[in-house]
């Protein structure tokens, strides 16, 4: 189990790295073996790592060689060895033995459709500096959680757990009454709702793409 966080500002203002680290610290229990951060100014990614595959080589966020693609990933890809062989056959070269790098290279090769090839449990975020897009995705049945919110400023934040999103001081704390009814009736809050008005869960088998400067994400269901 690992944990991811991220923050994209809407107006080009720089991300407060101190605050991103504070958000990421809220999920330190998901990744006690280390943390890492990417700060690209108005886009930043955080990561807490539980080391399982390639303990020394799988540090995150992970970059492509030219650093045009950055990945923060939580999960396990069951078919990563087969995908690695396929990607090597297409000319990609790997520096680690981790499944994280397979996810990174899969995005580099196939773009957003890479999720259709992944077999496993995952939630991840990719910053594509060439396309100027943030791409987040969740596994087919939603084993790994992923929460997101558009703040009143238009900034976009996301994390593996609600408590990390709540660590942002500009998030409105407004109880969602129909979600409370769901909880009292069902014992849980169904996707994409959460107990708060301004926070949503990315549904299973769904991706979200957000262009820098936009408040209108593109969402796609890639499996049923």
Chain segment 167-187, per-residue pLDDT in tens: 999 999 999 999 999 999 999
- Residue 83: CB atoms within 10 A of its CB come to 21
Q: Which of 72, 84, 81, 14 is nearest to 46 (CA)?
A: 72
Q: How confident is the model at residue 58 (pLDDT cuts 50, 70, 90)?
A: confident
Distance (Å, whole) CA 21 – CA 74: 17
Pairing of strands 120-128, 133-138: antiparallel
Q: At 25, give phi and psi (nearest 5°).
A: -60, -25
> What tokens appear for 121 in the block?
């449990």
> What tokens appear for 92 in the block?
């990609």
Find tokens 């987040």 and name the residue.
136
Q: How confident is the model at residue 54 (pLDDT cuts 50, 70, 90)?
A: low
The DSSP H or E segment spanning 101 is helix 99-110
Q: Which of 66, 27, 65, 69 is nearest to 46 (CA)?
A: 27
The region, left, alpha or beta by phi > 0 then psi within -120 to 50, assigned to residue 54 is: left
Give catalytic residue positions: 2
Q: Under a CB-based contact definition with an 8 Å cutoff, are residues 23 and 64 in contact? A: no
Provide the 3-class DSSP secondary structure of residue 177.
Answer: helix
Q: How confident is the model at residue 50 (pLDDT cuts 50, 70, 90)?
A: confident
Q: How confident is the model at residue 10 (pLDDT cuts 50, 70, 90)?
A: very high
């Amino acid at each position: 189990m690992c944990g991811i966080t991220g923050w994209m500002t809407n107006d080009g203002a720089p991300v407060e790295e101190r605050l991103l680290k504070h958000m990421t610290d809220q999920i330190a229990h998901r990744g006690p073996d280390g943390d890492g951060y990417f700060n690209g100014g108005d886009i930043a990614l955080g990561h807490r790592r539980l080391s399982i595959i390639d303990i020394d080589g799988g540090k995150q966020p992970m970059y492509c060689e030219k650093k045009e693609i950055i990945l923060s990933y939580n999960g396990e890809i069951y078919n990563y060895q087969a995908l690695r062989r396929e990607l090597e056959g297409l000319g990609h070269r790997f520096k680690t033995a981790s499944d994280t790098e397979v996810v990174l290279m899969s995005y580099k090769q196939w773009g957003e459709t890479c999720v259709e090839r992944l077999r496993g449990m995952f939630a991840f975020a990719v910053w594509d500096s060439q396309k100027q897009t943030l791409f987040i995705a969740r596994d087919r049945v939603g084993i790994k959680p992923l929460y997101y919110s558009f703040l009143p400023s238009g900034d976009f934040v996301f994390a593996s757990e609600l408590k990390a999103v709540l660590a942002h001081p500009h998030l409105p704390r407004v109880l969602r009454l129909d979600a409370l009814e769901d909880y009292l009736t069902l014992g849980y809050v169904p996707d994409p709702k959460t107990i708060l008005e301004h926070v949503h869960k990315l549904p299973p088998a769904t991706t979200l793409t957000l262009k820098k400067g936009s408040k209108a994400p593109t969402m796609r269901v890639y499996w049923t």
